A and B are shown apart, each in its own frame.
Chain A
Amino acid sequence: MNMKEEALLRVENLTKIFKTGFLGKGEKIIAVNDVSFFLKKGEVLSLIGESGSGKTTIARLILKLLKPTSGRIYYEDTDIWEISDKAYWRKVQAIFQDPYASFNSFYKVERTLKNVFKLFPDKVSEGEKDKKVHEALEKIGLNPKEVLGKHPFELSGGQMQRLLLARCLIIDPEVIIADEPTSMVDASMRVILLNIFKELSKKADKSIIFITHDISQAFYISDRVLVMYRGRIVENGPVEQILFSPQHPYTKRLISDVPKLHEKFKFTLT
């Protein structure tokens, strides 16, 4: 079977150029440079790369938050710009790095979570809403009584990131784009969140694009890994292949420089 045919999301020759300066007369920054990849149903695909490598720009392009300079993105063979926003966002959702920027700080958590039902095509009863919100919160290990009545600034970064995941679980999309979703979470909670992503893909057949600079996290949850460097994809393959035989110097450095629990760096003093 052709790989492309079973792809749920397909990115083709995507390029995004940002212009700086007055009326865009300054410098050109090529944030994403001719990137193509696909995402299969039920697959976890990681985008790894250092800051500024274009990972988040790709996420924003896929979410229709930015228009590409050139190239196309297809969802089930339809150009995403031909799908209505509301219909598209029911299918494709995101969890962003900075959870405080994703929640309205004047709203209590409950209101923000219940707002997502506006995306649903049919009216949802209050009882049904409560049930779904509670289920989602329990899944991510937050006590509904403790968080629902609070404003974002009363919660920690880790709690907020988990709330974003809860929001995503309520919407129940087909594709989840998770951009550094555990950056504010402690190690002990991090694996619990990663396990939820794993479960979503393996049990609920959801597709996940996991964006991170942390190679260990990426390898833990992914089926396939894309390594980005300066706007381009420099490595693309299954986790085992990339770990055993990284091709690009950047990937090699990334793997050798990450601190490991059972291995010590050897420093020679010069």
Chain B
Amino acid sequence: MKMSLVLEARHIEGGYDLGSSFLKAVDDCSLYAYEGEMLGVAGESGCGKSTLAKLIMGLTKPPLRLVKGKSIIDDIDVYKLSWNERKKILWGKVVTMIPQASMNALNPTKKIKDVVFDVVREKYSTPPSKSEILDMAKKRFDEIGLDPVALDMYPIELSGGMKQRAIIAISTLLNPSFLIADEPTSALDVSTQKLLLELLYMLIKRNIVKTLIFISHDIATLRQICDKMCIMYAGKILEISDTEDVINRPLHPYTEKLMESVIPLIPSIRKKTLKGIPGAPPNLLNPPSGCRFHPRCRYAMPLCKEKEPPLREAKKGRFVSCWLHLG
């Protein structure tokens, strides 16, 4: 069955104006996501994963700027809209982002329902009445397993798990088809983190949102719910494949090293020595020639230094940007 395309991001290039220079944080990245899909974007700090997410949804607030490329979400060409149009018709209604510190985003002096009113009113020139908004909210709260009584409470009265649900319910209130979660779990303990993963999983399975992009540096977390994974390094996409393939049969040497850096929870681990990746990611103001990973790659060939490998389908459904796999 061919699913419909929810996100079509083509050759995205963008970065930050730093006065005299321009830091290209994302360079020629293309990403597609279909309905019902949960896509994980993994990479280490500074690889451009959050910037890519912002560029995809048109959050180009200076100094961030799009240089080239196109992002189409649910048939809407993001960059054909002005900033104000994006605010009115795109964000919240078509695409929503759950940012990193979102679990503390609720205003402690406001009841949950007042936050809901604010969110909805901001998006409409003639907003629905309070009772209509409340009905919408109750329905959504019900759907994600949070007692609508919470609407009448202050954030302090909610447990951590309830707060999470409230945030997710509020962010999806206007039925966006596409949700981007940017490291939503990074500051949580493992049990709360698991609850959040379950919640995101449910959003897709119950068709509350059509597509989810989950950004994280933690591959073990991503693999819990993502069907596909995209590996980024130094502003580039190096590999996109099904999660199982990426984990068990990585193609790119960087992906391989990244998997080896994950510490498995097995008793014999104490006796083993994991390797890690020596060296550091490149400075994006002055990236290396050819493949950006070549200075740290154990398989580097002369070609890798000279020419940049394109992202191509090396095996069926598996995209990689590496000369080892591109004949």
Interface residues of A (CB under 8 A from B): 50-51, 141, 156, 158, 186-192, 194-195, 198, 213, 215-217, 219-223, 239-240, 243-244, 253-255, 257-262, 264-265, 267, 269-270
Contacts and interface: CB of A to CB of B under 8 A. Distances in A.
Interface of B: 44-46, 145, 189-191, 193-194, 197-198, 201-202, 205-206, 217-221, 223-224, 247, 257-259, 261-267, 269-270, 272-280
Contacts of B267: 219, 239-240, 243-244
7 contacts: A156-B45, A213-B189, A254-B191, A255-B265, A257-B194, A259-B220, A260-B264
B189 A50 contact: yes
What are the nearest 10 A-B pairs in CB distance?
Answer: A188-B277, A186-B44, A191-B276, A192-B276, A216-B263, A259-B220, A191-B274, A257-B190, A187-B261, A188-B261
A198 B273 contact: yes
Contact of A195 (B220, B247, B276, B277): B276
A269 B206 contact: yes
Given A51-B189, A260-B264, A267-B198, A191 B275 contact: yes
A44 B229 CA distance: 36
Contacts of A244: 267
Contact of A265 (B194, B219, B247, B265): B194
Nearest to A268: B198
Nearest to A141: B278
A144 to B, nearest CB: 14
Contacts of A240: 267, 270
What's the dominant secondary structure at chain A's contact region?
helix
Given A189-B277, A264-B223, A270 B145 contact: yes
Given A259-B194, A265-B197, A267-B201, A243 B274 contact: no
B24 to A, nearest CB: 19
Contacts of A217: 263
B223 A261 contact: yes
Q: Which of A158, A191, A264, A270 is most buried by chain B, counting CB atoms within 10 A of its CB? A: A191
Q: Which of A189, A215, A221 is most buried by chain B, counting CB atoms within 10 A of its CB? A: A189
A215 to B, nearest CB: 7
Given A219-B269, A261-B264, 7 more contacts: A186-B44, A194-B263, A223-B270, A259-B223, A261-B259, A261-B262, A269-B202
Contacts of B201: 267, 269
Given A141-B278, A186-B217, A261-B259, A219 B273 contact: no
A270 B206 CA distance: 11
Contacts of B272: 220
Contacts of A194: 263, 274
Given A186-B45, A187-B217, A269-B206, A220 B269 contact: yes
Given A259-B220, A262-B247, A269-B202, A215 B265 contact: yes
A187 B44 contact: yes
A264 B224 contact: yes
A265 B193 CA distance: 12
A195 B274 CA distance: 8
A220 B263 contact: yes
Contact of B45 (A158, A221, A260): A158
Contacts of B224: 259, 264-265
Contacts of B276: 187-192, 195
A257 B45 contact: no
Contacts of B257: 188
A226 B149 CA distance: 40
A153 B162 CA distance: 37
A267 B223 CA distance: 13
Q: Which of A188, A216, A270 is most buried by chain B, counting CB atoms within 10 A of its CB? A: A188
Nearest to B190: A257
A190 B264 contact: no
A188 B42 CA distance: 13
A259 B265 CA distance: 9
B174 to A, nearest CB: 23
